[in-house]
Amino acid sequence: MKVNLFYRKKRKYAYSIEELFKSISKKLTNYNSIKIELPYSKASMKEIYLNCLFCIKYFNKLNHVTGDVHYIVPFLGSKTILTIHDVKSILQGNFISYSIKKLFWFWLPILFAKKITVISNFTKKEVLKIAPWAKKKITIIPNPINFRYLSQIKKQQNVKFTVLIIGTKTNKNLTRIFNSLKSLDLKLNIIGNLSKEQKTLAKDLKLNYTNYQNLNYKEVLEIYSKSDLLCFPSIYEGFGMPILEAQAIGIPVLTSNLSPMKDIAGESALLVNPYSIKNIRECIIRIIESPILQEELIIKGKENVLRYDIHAIAKQYENLYKEIENV
């Protein structure tokens, strides 16, 4: 049996969805997954139109849109699954832009899709805010973690305690993180493109950091292995995969007491108020000064990732494919 997995056009440094479903597809036992990459990457009307035309030849086959390019769903027929990773990152811009995206990225795709999968209960709630009629279509299937692979990555020993920050967009909360680290004797590994303002702040606070940009997934994992703590007090995520990646490799995690981060981490991470510089700072210091706490978080983290076993997640997708085929 076959299932077509539709991916956005490959972009040089955007690979989270691709890596996710690449891993899942390898664990499917009853379905042969066919990777279909859209020919165009831009969100211009012309390229959206051409991508939709490209999809028509797959109409009414078993199709799964893996995320981001929701707008192709109406052109794939009645056996289509749509995975929605988050809402807020797409619904941005002025009123006209917001309205267009809401119609073509959410309302129409949700209306035409046979099933919707979301990666967290938090994302489900967000989807239902804009499409309350979709409740019966939605199934929560969390992102998996390939624990066997990640646990083989060797954690390196550092002379100076090293904190990892992943992502530099506004939701990643860098301004508060930077201020919380003022005068602390540690090193920072920062993955993502720092803005001019972020660089200025880091310089003013005299932070000791290395900034890594344009990394592939293997290189990102290497930076994990060179770090002693993941500092991830994000104010918005659809899921929070860095939490699980760090835990699988054996790195303590500090993250937000907001959903979905607190739901993903449970009791296996130190939870902070992401809007409180004082709280973030106190918890970072607490982890640095307590090897016992570090070890406790590492052990609990490895237990936590087992909840997101990739084989179990792949089985959930297979059950959904089977359900659609049997309708």
Per-residue pLDDT tens digits for 80-102: 999 999 998 888 888 888 999 99
DSSP 238-291: SS-HHHHHHHHHT--EEEESSTTHHHHHTTSSEEE-TT-HHHHHHHHHHHHT-H
Cα dihedral sign, 63-131-173-272: negative
User: In terms of DSSP bridges, do strands 115-118 and 138-140 run parallel, antiparallel, or are they unpaired?
Assistant: parallel
So where are the chain's domains? 2-144+309-325, 147-308
pLDDT in tens, 262-281: 999 999 999 999 999 999 99
User: How many CB atoms neighbour CB 246 within 10 A?
Assistant: 28
CA–CA separation, 66 and 116 (whole Å)? 11
Identical topology for domains 2-144+309-325 and 147-308 = yes
pLDDT in tens, 120-169: 999 999 999 999 999 999 999 999 987 777 878 888 888 899 999 999 99
Cβ atoms of 124 and 192 within 8 Å: the answer is: no
pLDDT in tens, 159-208: 899 999 999 999 999 999 999 999 999 999 999 999 999 999 999 999 99
Q: What pLDDT is stored for residue 147 in this prediction?
A: 77
Name the fold adopted by 2-144+309-325.
Rossmann fold (3.40.50)
CA–CA separation, 122 and 260 (whole Å)? 6
Instruction: Label residue 210 by pLDDT band (50, 70, 90).
Output: very high
Predicted TM-score (pTM) of the model is 0.84
Q: What pLDDT is stored for residue 13 in this prediction?
A: 60
Three-class SS of 313-325: HHHHHHHHHHHHH
CA–CA separation, 101 and 82 (whole Å)? 16
CA–CA separation, 233 and 236 (whole Å)? 9
CATH-assigned architecture of domain 147-308: 3-Layer(aba) Sandwich (3.40)
Name the percent of the chain in helix, strand, coil, to the closest 5: 50, 15, 35
Q: Write the single-letter amino acid at 210.
A: T
Q: What pLDDT is stored for residue 12 in this prediction?
A: 66
**Over the chain, what is the mean pLDDT?**
94
pLDDT in tens, 2-56: 999 999 998 766 678 888 999 999 999 999 999 999 999 988 999 999 999 999 9
